[in-house]
A and B are shown apart, each in its own frame.
Chain A
Amino acid sequence: MKNILKSTLVLLSVLVAFTSCDNASSKSNSGALSSSAAEKVYVAPGEHDEFYAFISGGFSGQLSVYGLPSGRLFKVIPVFSQDAEKAYGYNEETKPMLNTSHGFVPWDDAHHPDISQTNGVVDGRWVFINGNNTPRIAKIDLSTFETTEIIEVPNSAGNHSSSFVTENSEYVVAGTRFSVPIPQKDMPIKDYKGNFKGSLSFISIDPEHGHMDIKFQLIMPGFDYDLSHPGRGKSHGWFFFTTYNTEEASTLMEVNASQNDKDFIAAVNWKKIEEYVNNGGGTMMPANYAHNVYDEATHSATSTMKKEVRIVNPLDVPGAVYFLPTPKSPHGCDVDPTGEYIVGNGKLSANLTVHSFTKMLNAIENNKVAGDAYGIPILNFEDVLAGVVEQPGLGPLHTEFDGKGNAYTTFFISSEVVKWKLGTWEVVDRQPCYYSVGHLMIPGGNSQKPFGKYVVAMNKITKDRYLPTGPEVTQSAQLYDISGEKMELLLDFPTVGEPHYAAGCPADLVKPRSKKLFKLEDNKHPYATLNEADAKVVRDGKTVHVYMTTIRSHFAPDNIEGIKVGDKVYFHITNLEQDYDVPHGVSMIGANTSELLIMPGQTETFLWEPKQIGVWPFYCTDFCSALHQEMQGYVRVSPANSNTPLKWSLGEDIE
């Protein structure tokens, strides 16, 4: 018995020794200070995060604003989808934002946010994001965190290789994923090859207000233009697009578009085309596309249909476009901070192909052309190749850079982020993702100056990572610390919709410019009521305009009589508050629209079409003050043929 005890003790002590050894070695591996992931993502109550992350909502059509490293969600900015919470696309002011050549389209698939840049560095003024389905590019103003402009992209379909910004925000670029007949026409689908075209749109950005205007569309062969990124630094003036389906198939694409051993990265010298266009080059083509602009002074959007667009045939600008052969249907097209390396993430390839900008220029200079596709020169693969990362993982999709000579690539199939070195192409580290990672983002990733402290991986599948919520579970992001040699997983956090890429920047770039309220004296809304004394109700035939104000804690007027069944009643409500974070809401029983959520100094309008006689209440929907529950009113609705006089009041009875 004693012996058994003794040997057990010995065994235990050996085990303990091994275990502690193990602990010690794993600690030394990950660095002495890397022990507490929780500490690294903890942002104390009342403290602010170091970075903003703008994470796209994919099929939610929206853009969410998170803080890093905490992963806390601050706001979901409505962009391409109606949002009843904020009345976006429901109130009269923002309905025009969702106008297109196909009419009102209240949803889109929001993909790739990108922050405006100055001198190759993110400047935190605007975020651009593409609507993939009904091709559109939106601009979000980071002083209000609201969508202030949407331009539809004609001659495009599946607006996917978008919306990436050049290094001085000269252009936001939108490429077509699905080639289509240009102009659209009724034709057999089987005649795709040679007849369908892909357009690459260069949308100029007004440096002062950020207004977008399609400068030109490059009409390319009918491939699928998948993703893109601008050249920067030495390659500024060029833009790179990955392509797949160079087979030009139109059915059973998963097979038929995966036959060619190599597809292309299209290198576009946009400076050259810009010069050509500035000298009158290109042709104006009839088109029909919406340009929707929200004016902060009138708090209203207007939609204008544009009737033509300038198109450019690449063959008319020799030396402007080249094809770089890139293995196996490349997805992400990523340019390193120096502008030298162009990474083609060949999603069906076991290797990662990196092209050299210098070698590309060299090949062009020496006219080393391997052939052409529809007249566009194809360079030799070997002539432009900088290097290959050998067997880093399965299914490479996207690459970002830390500005310290490292690249980070996501692998969808092997579900991991792999860190490798630019120039030596050696794999340094790999970390699993949970699960099947798509995009990844380092703040400032699409710029000359990444802030290489964190990388956010955006996963397509979460399965068991969170408490289950029925068949549909959240998508998620994962935050890794990349400040050391090895990556360290710090945090999982759920996302809104499906995150297709994100953009991040230091909070200090945006925070000081964030507006607290709209000044009442700057309110130029045509139906604004800037004083409670001016509140009124005006009938114009069957249309009634209610000029209403809100201030804690009442509406003015709050009693209205003389409304009739069949009227169209427009409630134009001005929030007279001039204090930070005092919005008022409003909702009317039976209104076939959403509530309004009106920021201080703002005017918003909803339409109510009363269908039944009676006395119908309305109330404030945002808990504005201690007397919020008292913030309510009544509208008397009389029969259509009644003589009830139009009257309104506040604080006294209607006699």
Chain B
Amino acid sequence: MKRSNVIMLIASLLPLGLFFFPLWKITLEAPQYPIPLGMYIHINDFSDVHPHDIKNINLMNHYVGMKYIPEAIPEFKIFPIGIIITTLIGLIIAFKGNHKWFLFWFVLMIVLSSAGLYDFYLWEHDYGHDLDPKAIMKFTNPDGSVMGFQPPLFGSKDILNFRAHSYPRLGALFLGLGIIASFTAYLTGKKNNKKPVTM
């Protein structure tokens, strides 16, 4: 097996790390939460950082009319299938394909990951803006518009008394490494292809 194909093989397997490690983490800090509230986003689940965190995030959020974080979202079914399919494609390419296919897989993954992130952003936006009109507390921005409570997609942000942090976790790292590795496989394969056959 050629070196580039070995790299591609690894690249296609790396995203499977998403099944073992969380993709993202959202943390909410406030003075009365010396241990911050936190939530992991897995490819197929939301989970507490500390026991009952999600329940307590929901309790906080209901004051401003935010919906409860759902037990499950359709993405939890779609994303795992997506990862398995792309891994399978990656494996086939690793065994059968050449560097051009590696590039194809790289682009495919970039497109799908971006779509996933965009989907995540939409959910967050809805979660932060689609507020119960009977909300206990209503806040407005300085311009008079209704204040939203959307957590950041990436980075840290102040939301009322909370400071929200949103950062990728190990699962995302595996995915990212897989994508980078596929590009490396492409570059390696391309270089080798240009080399004249010396035998």
Contacts and interface: CB of A to CB of B under 8 A. Distances in A.
A626 interface: yes
Contacts of B56: 578-579
Contact of A552 (B52, B59, B137): B59
Given A578-B51, A579-B52, A627-B136, A551 B59 contact: yes
Contacts of B136: 627
Contacts of A578: 51-52, 55-56
Interface string B52-70: 1001100100010000000
A483 to B, nearest CB: 31
A626 B59 contact: no
Most buried by B among A552, A579, A627: A579
Interface string B31-52: 0000100000000000000011
A520 to B, nearest CB: 9
B63 A579 contact: no
Contacts of A580: 35
A383 to B, nearest CB: 61
Chief secondary structure at chain B's binding surface: mixed
Contacts of A577: 59
Contacts of B63: 626-627
Interface residues of B, number: 9
Nearest to A626: B63
Nearest to B53: A579
Nearest to A576: B55
A626 B59 CA distance: 12
A174 to B, nearest CB: 40
Contacts of B35: 580
A627 B56 CA distance: 16
A107 to B, nearest CB: 37
A579 B55 CA distance: 9
A309 B56 CA distance: 51
A551 B62 CA distance: 12
Nearest to A581: B32
B186 to A, nearest CB: 50
B10 to A, nearest CB: 42
Nearest to A551: B59
Nearest to A519: B51
Contacts of A627: 63, 136
Interface in B124-138: 136-137
Contacts of B55: 578-579
Nearest to A580: B35
Interface string A573-588: 0000111100000000
A627 B64 CA distance: 12
Interface string B133-175: 0001100000000000000000000000000000000000000
A551 B63 CA distance: 12
B59 to A, nearest CB: 6
B160 to A, nearest CB: 11
Nearest to B37: A579
B152 to A, nearest CB: 24
Contacts of A579: 52, 55-56, 59
Interface string A546-564: 0000011000000000000
A551 B56 CA distance: 11
Contacts of B137: 626
A578 B59 CA distance: 10
A551 B52 CA distance: 14
Nearest to B32: A581
Interface string A618-649: 00000000110000000000000000000000
A493 to B, nearest CB: 26
Given A551-B59, A579-B55, 10 more contacts: A552-B59, A577-B59, A578-B55, A578-B56, A579-B52, A579-B56, A579-B59, A580-B35, A627-B63, A627-B136
16 contacts: A551-B59, A552-B59, A577-B59, A578-B51, A578-B52, A578-B55, A578-B56, A579-B52, A579-B55, A579-B56, A579-B59, A580-B35, A626-B63, A626-B137, A627-B63, A627-B136
Interface of B: 35, 51-52, 55-56, 59, 63, 136-137
Q: Across chains A and B, which 4 residue pairs bring their CB atoms closest together, nearest first?
A: A578-B52, A579-B56, A552-B59, A578-B55
